[in-house]
Structures are given as structure tokens and as C-alpha cells.
Amino acid sequence: MKRVQEKQSKRRRRKLHVRKHISGTSDRPRLSVYRSNKHMYIQAIDDVNNTTIASASTMEEDLRSLKNNVENAKKVGLLIGERLKEKKVKTAVFDRNGYPYRGIVKSIAEGAREAGLKF
């Protein structure tokens, strides 16, 4: 149990360190990634107005069958990229939320780039 708590506190510390330097606007939202053991969640956040512009997750009905792996993360990244493209957002700031930039997190970013989003 202690190991899990240490892991979570280290992730929180990294998250705060990254969040000091990045912020989202309506023209260039912050693309925040959260992943649990079963699902992944992505939000495009405007920090100036404290609003969520778009979101995508594996909790949605059409994506519920997707497992939490690298291939499916790319699909969710494509979906958030398309939703932001509909709202005429071309650039974003990627917030990995304290997670290492590899595996699922990297695949989400690549999927969003394939949809036409620039970081």
C-alpha cells in the first residue's frame, strides 16, 4: 500500500511541476490526459474561462468496448482531434498530467496529431 501512495504522490508532484508552465486558452486549449487501469480520458480545457471545450473517453457508449492499450489510445486521440477540428481549434498544449510520455499517453498525442492538431 505504501508503494502505491508513493507512486501517486510522485505523479502529483510531477503534475504540479508541469502545470506551473502550461496553460490553455480558447485558441490553444490544454489537452489533459488521464488514464486509469480500465479507461482513458482526454479533455481540451480553456484555463482562462475555466471551461472544457471538448472531451473524449472510453466511457462513451461507442468506445466502451475498447480496451486500455496503445492501439485504442490512438483511436481516442483521433476522436478528440476531430472534435477539436469541428470547433476550429488547430493548436493545443499537451498536458501529460504527470504520466511519462510513452505508451498510451504518447499514442493519444500521435492520434491527435494525425487528426490535424498541432502541439
> What pLDDT, on a 0 to 100 scale, did the predictor assign at position 20?
87
> What pLDDT, on a 0 to 100 scale, did the predictor assign at position 18?
85
CB–CB of 99/13 below 8 Å? no
For the domain spanning 2-114, the CATH number is: 3.30.420.100
> pLDDT by residue (tens digit) across 38-86?
999 999 999 999 999 999 999 999 999 999 999 999 999 999 999 999 9
> pLDDT by residue (tens digit) across 11-22?
999 999 888 888
Q: What is the pTM for the complete model shown?
A: 0.88
